[in-house]
Amino acid sequence: MLCTPGQKALGQKAATLLGEHAVGIFDHAVMHVPVETANAACEFAQTARADLCVAIGGGSTTGLAKAIALRSGLPILAVPTTYAGSEMTPIWGLTEQGVKRTGRDPRVLPRTTLYDPELTLNLPATTSATSGMNALAHCVEGLYSESANPLVSLMAEEGIRALGRSLPRIVHQPDDLEARSDALYGAWLAGVTLGSVGMALHHKLCHTLGGAFNLPHAQTHTIILPHALAYNAKAVPEAAQRVARALGAEDGVQALVELITALGAPTALKDIGMPREGIERAAELATANPYYNPAPVKKDALRRLLQNAYDGRPPEPYLS
């Protein structure tokens, strides 16, 4: 049984329900899966002679289960309690010395996922909002992915629609079980999108910022998303239009800005622990290796994007 220290009681409850099938609880899952934590968890699973990992928690806990599965092939049963969507992807991530590596491997895709909206009722409104925006980001980038296809785009657009309508309801009334269920539906669509097609600039930037400055993952996604769409919108007008349509608005970038404001979510990297001098380093790291993005990745434009995101200023068409 894997969980974070904060969700130990939930992990223990689940282990109790499993009775003699539960051979141990490893409650040290933390954000971004540091390689040291992954090593300790693998050793724990081996010592306990586990034949299955139950990951009960958010993306960090699922990520730890994936790190174990990557090395040992142990199957995963995921019980997500946030909206990150990791449970539906074959993507793993590991952080070593400030650099986060990610990869795809079918062994890390959970064999079974149990969605229970009641388990998300304790997720604070602010975390719910940012975790849902993280999922929404998978959908947005899925729409302009290099490997985008009509079917996945349908799911991505529907994911944006579901999250766009459920997250404000959750923030307004955190015990709204129907809205919680709707958000999990959106998270599922987002996870399938992320697992099916490749991502682009937005995910690259967030992974760079998360790994290099240990920024909180979901908040970073929330802050960067409108800027990333603004960067790409001209190159992919149809995708931007679909984002707008899903959010019931005229303009996709503006609709994202308004959604984030309505959720009371953070809009500035400086407020979540980013050092000012990190802007230059992030621009360098994010342009160091080539990757797919519909608009050309230019260091000057990225620096401007990061500067705006750092200060919490509105997005602009960075490549005009």
CA 132/CA 221 separation, integer angstroms: 10
Q: Which of 41, 45, 94, 131 binds ligand NAD (CB under 6 A)?
A: 131
If binding is defined by CB under 6 A, does position 59 make contact with ligand NAD?
A: yes
| Minimum distance of ligand NAD from residue 85's CB (angstroms) | 5
Collapsing DSSP to helix, strand or coil, 33 comes out as: coil
Q: Closer to ligand NAD by CB, 131 or 153: give it.
A: 131
| Minimum distance of ligand NAD from residue 237's CB (angstroms) | 27
Within 83-112, which residues bind ligand NAD (CB under 6 A)?
84-86, 89, 91, 93
If binding is defined by CB under 6 A, does position 159 make contact with ligand NAD?
A: no
CA 209/CA 8 separation, integer angstroms: 28
112 backbone dihedrals φ, ψ, rounded to 5°: -140, 140
Beta bridge partners of 101: 94
Q: Closer to ligand NAD by CB, 254 or 273: give it.
A: 273
Residue spans of alpha helices (H) in 57-176: 59-72, 125-143, 150-172
Q: Are 236 and 244 in contact (CB under 8 A)?
A: no
CA 39/CA 233 separation, integer angstroms: 41
| Minimum distance of ligand NAD from residue 45's CB (angstroms) | 19
Q: Are 273 and 266 in contact (CB under 8 A)?
A: no
If binding is defined by CB under 6 A, does position 211 make contact with ligand NAD?
A: no
Q: Are 182 and 166 in contact (CB under 8 A)?
A: yes
| Minimum distance of ligand NAD from residue 102's CB (angstroms) | 7
Which of the 8 DSSP states describes residue 315? P
If binding is defined by CB under 6 A, does position 304 make contact with ligand NAD?
A: no
Which residue of this chain has its Cβ atom nearest to ligand NAD in the complex? Answer: 59
The contact set with ligand NAD (CB under 6 A) reads 4, 6-7, 31-32, 57-61, 63, 81-82, 84-86, 89, 91, 93, 119-120, 122-123, 127, 131, 134, 194, 217-218
